């Protein structure tokens, strides 16, 4: 097993080193808000986001989705947001850095990832971690390509193809 994924990019011709890691800065639903609503009804921080000002608010946490790459030690990492119920969000925030690591919270996938068919509302489970680590995301098994990749892993070639698509969207 080689430690690093290294490939010559078919888009820009450069050598990209290391397993790819891409992050969504905010939930898809936050991106959809007007600039006015982003300041008026939403809170966005590094690890959490709340949209709404009443009991109908939506609660989001930032997580890490690790997709194994066959033959490579480091996974393909996505920083993505999922929505939690209010009760689970409160528990998650109130146990910050003192999580029961056997906990898991049901979450709805809340980003659209490049390369894949629509990933919004995939069913997930959030596994909190202590020590300043973002929670790991587990996707429910389904025939969605992202769920298949999560459970079965991807080849080096697929990892390269997805990374090229993300780094060079045009
Ligand atoms: Zn490139």
**Cα 7 to ligand 1 centre (Å):** 9
> Residue 10 C-alpha to ligand 1 middle, in angstroms?
7
pLDDT at 2: 59
Q: Check residue 71 and give its pLDDT.
A: 92
Ranges under pLDDT 50 in the chain:
none
How many Å lie between the centroid of ligand 1 and the Cα of residue 151? Answer: 27
- Quick one: pLDDT at residue 161? 92
Neighbours of ion ligand 1 (CB under 5 A): 9, 11-12
Question: How many Å lie between the centroid of ligand 1 and the Cα of residue 147?
Answer: 26
> 119-123: long-range contacts at Cβ-Cβ below 8 A with a sequence spacing of 24 or more?
119/144, 119/146, 120/28, 122/146, 122/147
- Confirm if 113 and 146 have CB atoms less than 8 A apart: yes
pLDDT at position 93, please? Answer: 93
Looking at residue 1, its pLDDT comes to 55
Strands 76-84 and 21-23, by their bridges, are parallel
* pLDDT (tens digit per residue) in 122-164: 999 999 999 989 999 999 999 999 999 999 999 999 999 999 9
């Amino acid at each position: 097993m080689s430690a690093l994924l290294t490939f010559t990019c078919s888009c820009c011709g450069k050598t990209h080193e290391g397993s790819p890691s891409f992050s969504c800065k905010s939930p898809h639903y936050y991106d959809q808000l007007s600039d006015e609503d982003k300041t008026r009804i939403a809170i966005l921080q590094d690890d959490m986001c709340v949209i709404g000002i009443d009991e109908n608010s939506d609660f989001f946490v930032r997580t890490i989705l690790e997709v194994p790459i066959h033959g490579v030690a480091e996974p393909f990492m996505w920083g993505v947001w999922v929505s939690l119920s209010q009760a689970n969000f409160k528990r998650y925030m109130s146990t910050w850095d003192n999580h029961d690591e056997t906990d898991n919270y049901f979450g709805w996938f809340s980003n659209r990832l490049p390369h894949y068919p629509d990933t919004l509302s995939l069913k997930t489970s959030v596994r909190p971690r202590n020590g300043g680590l973002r929670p790991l995301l587990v996707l429910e098994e389904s025939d969605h390509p992202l769920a298949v990749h999560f459970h079965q892993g991807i080849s080096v070639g697929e990892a390269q193809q997805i990374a090229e698509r993300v780094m060079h969207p045009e």
